Amino acid sequence: MFPTPIERTSAPTQALYKVALPVFLILWLLPLIAVAVTSVRSAGDITSGNYWGWPTSFNLVENYTAIFENTPIGKYILNSFRVTIPTVIGAVALSCMTGFALAVYKFKGNLLLFFMFVAGNFVPFQILMVPVRDLTLQLGMYNTISGLALFHIAFQTGFCTLFMRNFIKALPVELIEAARVEGVSEVRIFWYVVLPLMKPAIAALSVLIFTFIWNDYFWATVLTQGADTQPITAGLYSLNGQWVAAWHLVSAGSIVAAMPPVLMFFAMQKHFIAGLTLGAVK
């Protein structure tokens, strides 16, 4: 059997793919590899300018112990959890209810209200920086954990509503109609019929929002200051100014800061993938 024209065309493409994939993967991972290697370098390597060469010694325990003993990084991480967890709970809970209302009920202005939720995602944060900061000052919420969490909930609810509304739209409407025929109230329909079917979407959305908020740097620096309220992203920047040349300690702090969202993704990987792919294949 002779190869078909499609097979002859795909052979060079597959060969190029097999060569290009490892190359681009290494290029994509190169900054992370550089940070990881720098985090175990000695102070002597940094002082002598050995930024890219092989470390003369591996100070894994010393560097990672120093950032917890000599810096308030533990407080920064705690602040990140105090901001991120309430934001995930609040944004996902609100979006489940708003998504249910916009997907199930047909009323005048439904589409307009949905577009208002979506439109908020297209406004650049830089435009909102000054009015949001002034609003936090007027409300007495500037430089507070609760203020930062509430504004994150407000900003993330639009995207979450878009996600949940489209997910609920894809659910069989016959389930809701059957429950209504049986005389089940709308609240119980939401709680006992729709919500259990939304668990994969809730898991996927929770991972996404957790990662977004944990890695947020813009609002963390605009709305907070000081170790008592700043999350880890803003805290690392302040440590960067504190350690003028201690890039090995800053790199170690960056690796520690990146661990919670990575661990959450792997813990929720099964549910995350199920939530993203649900409905893709009938």
pLDDT digits (tens, 9 = 90+) for 242-266: 545 678 888 888 899 999 998 888 8
The 10s digit of each residue's pLDDT in 212-246 is 999 999 999 999 988 889 999 988 877 765 545 67
The 10s digit of each residue's pLDDT in 38-49 is 888 888 887 787
Eight-state DSSP code of residue 3: P
Give yes or no for residue 189 having a pLDDT over 80. Answer: yes
Closest CA to 215 of 38, 33, 84, 82: 84
Two tokens at 237? Answer: 């920047």
Q: Which carries the bigger pLDDT value, residue 244 or residue 32?
A: 32
Exposed/middle/buried for residue 57 (C-beta within 10 Å: 0-12, 13-18, 19+):
exposed
Question: Of all residues in the chain, what percent carry a pLDDT higher than 90?
Answer: 38
Cα-based angle 35, 256, 71 (whole degrees, multiple of 5): 100
Q: Which carries the bigger pLDDT value, residue 274 or residue 142?
A: 142
**Mean pLDDT, to the nearest integer, of 195-220?**
91
**Mean pLDDT, to the nearest integer, of 143-168?**
92
